Amino acid sequence: MPQSDPRQGATFLPLYTETYQIPDTLAAMYNFLLDRVVEQFATTTARDAAIPSPTDQMVCATGTGTAVTVWIYAGGWKVLWQVGVWQAITNPGGFTYGTGADAPAAMLGADGQTVHLRGKLTRTAGAFPLAYTTVGTLPAGLAPAGEVRAALAPWPASTASAPLLRIAPASSTLTVSVSGTASAAADVYLRGISYRRD
């Protein structure tokens, strides 16, 4: 009679005195291990076709290169880790965007939910007004489920009223305003701003 593994629950481990049913034992071992290794698939479609009935704690990976994503199943497939790639924020016009490391961009973090921002925005026609002004559009898929508000670092640093960033719920539009009186700031920096999209 096969013995059981107390750690992972395998029930097919043969005794030393059992030399029969080797093919069946190997097949059971293969299927048992397959549920516990990190399987690799080209796409999530291929994953779902190969694993139509996943169970909690299953882990797999999809994609190649900068598109590699590691998933864990917990009532549904959730991102465990992924490669972060900076994607450009679209200039609506009326602003000069920084270049290189200061180019306005957004990146979805390794957890698949946290979005990081970076970049420098310069208003072409003077200081930021009191009303919220559109300064950019986020890449597809990075809109937050709830409203995002954050104080931005202005330049010159001596300005009295810090510019405020606002992203409306489910919106991809970045807007900036100033609190109090009109600010002398013409430049703002997005680096260091992060939010969760869920």
What are the two backbone dihedrals, phi and then psi, of residue 102, each rounded to the nearest 5 degrees?
-95, 5
Chain centroid, CA 8 distance in Å: 32
pLDDT of residue 29: 77
pLDDT of residue 159: 56
Whole domain around residue 139: which residue ranges?
Answer: 87-196
60 and 45 together in one domain:
yes
User: Which of the given ranges, 23-37, 129-143, 155-169, has the highest pLDDT on average?
Assistant: 129-143
175 and 105 together in one domain:
yes
* pTM to 2 decimal places: 0.73
pLDDT of residue 22: 74
Share of the chain above pLDDT 90, in %: 53
Amino acid at 31: N
CA-wise closest residue to 60 among 111, 50, 10: 50
Tell me the pLDDT tens digit for each residue of 154-170: 665 655 567 889 999 99
CATH of the domain at 149: 2.60.40.2460
Q: Is the peptide bond before 14 cis (omega within 30 degrees of 0)?
A: no
pLDDT of residue 23: 78
**Side-chain half-sphere of 93: how many Cα atoms within 13 Å?**
0
92 and 63 together in one domain:
no
